[in-house]
Chains A and B, each alone.
Chain A
């Protein structure tokens, strides 16, 4: 069964450094998402992406964050100048179309900022 993959599974970085989290959505899916989950808390929407542009973003998704689909398969989340409070699980998800409502989540990347 097709699945969303994410790399790395765990990323440790120093405060102030830039990180890039990578996702490979399911191949025929058109809508892509990033979410964040701080340990023990709820899942927070960051951004949705369609047709090579952001369709929605949350208040969390400020200038520190950017997303890109650099080729036909990868979907990346870049966090510039990481802060301690960026430590969280980051989940990527994809959906085939807007009328195909099921979102498929990747396994997540645990980001630890020291």
Chain B
């Protein structure tokens, strides 16, 4: 069974700092997703990465995918308080079954 590991699980950082969240997965997948979840809310799609070397950026967030290393990163640049949330990565197997990581709870302190 495909396993997805995220680290760190908790991240407390100051505004203005940079940091990276890592997502490793155990078997081949060429599609990786990043979602954001605010407390008590649903999941918001951030990025869909479809191929090796894919890089996508939206505002202060940038996601990349290395399918050979089975690794995706979500980089946060100059964090602001509004980015505080839980971030999940997820991969899908060939048969439309999704596997989520445990999530990274990000707290950006003013």
Contact = CB atoms under 8 A, between A and B. Distances in A.
Contacts of B45: 102-105
Nearest to B105: A40
A87 interface: no
Given A102-B45, A106-B42, A42 B96 contact: no
B50 interface: yes
A74 interface: no
A34 B53 CA distance: 30
Nearest to A31: B96
Interface size class of B (residues with CB under 8 A): 20 to 34
A18 to B, nearest CB: 25
A38 to B, nearest CB: 12
Contacts of B43: 43, 91, 93, 105
A66 B33 CA distance: 27
A91 B28 CA distance: 26
B25 interface: no
B99 A45 contact: yes
A-B pairs with the 9 shortest C-beta distances? A56-B97, A101-B48, A43-B100, A105-B43, A45-B98, A105-B42, A48-B96, A42-B102, A107-B42
